[in-house]
Structure 1
């Protein structure tokens, strides 16, 4: 409890720390240009995330303890592997607490990943990964009605659903994803929209992306 109280106090202090906020903005602009987030991997697969975001994702997964994670955007598969490994740790912790024997290959907890294009070499690497037994991949636009319907069917029967939206970051696409997948989020869980910081980035920050200003 003391940690949580101290954390809330630090957050309030940071909100009023103009110097820190300015430095953070400079860091973000500089690291975007340097493609800093492309520098990391998770259990052998590239993961295009900032380390502090990965820590925050871990906190949410531990708090919610989902039995299903839905992710839009696959790329190299690092985020899928990350989520699958976190679900594995949940199973391990629950087995330790209950004193039961765990077969790691037999689990109900799953990750569904959706991408408009899953490149063959990425699909092959994901399918060969030890975490693959927890992963289902759906190829197609995340806002295509047929894809949405398929994911909704796959999500039936799950009680605690967590959603990560990290594909096309244009306003219209993200709004359509929210309308499609937010209703699947279970009570007490979250729908996380990644990279909302692009709204605060200067024009030309993403020259090769449709969400550049």
Structure 2
């Protein structure tokens, strides 16, 4: 039996990361970063490796002792989660609209800049923006000139997403596709099922 509650918990870990709006500006460079993500609802903190290339994201983390990889491609209608369970290597597709998973990206409705900072050795511009997802209705994001979000923080709560290590480097396509040997699954309303 697939542990759908575990999979849902991994997806939900990113659900409360503050998003930047409906019209994202994708990063203009390949990069790899180590991030710390704080789930506002549970208070749980996790570390993740985040890679980006051509609008595609890969997030690799560990949840309750198990490695998990999340592949996000804006051109796809699904988010794919890679996990090993009971000796099986699974690639589970979840409808993007239903996944609740959100990688912070910039929005073309950013307000006026309110300052500058350096995060993980990278200069960035601070923007204040309104969001219903944050207590108090606003958050502060630190954004590079080429649209890479390095930190999102909420007043009185601190950073909910922050780069700890960062490097601009070409990312190979293999990081953003399902490797051979994985059994493809779809997550339906009743749980996971082979397709």
Verify same fold: TM over 0.5: no
The structure whose RCO (Cα within 8 Å, separation 6+) is larger is: 2
TM-score tier after normalising by the smaller chain length = under 0.3
Choose 1 or 2 for highest CA Rg. Answer: 1
TM-score normalised by structure 1 residue count: 0.26
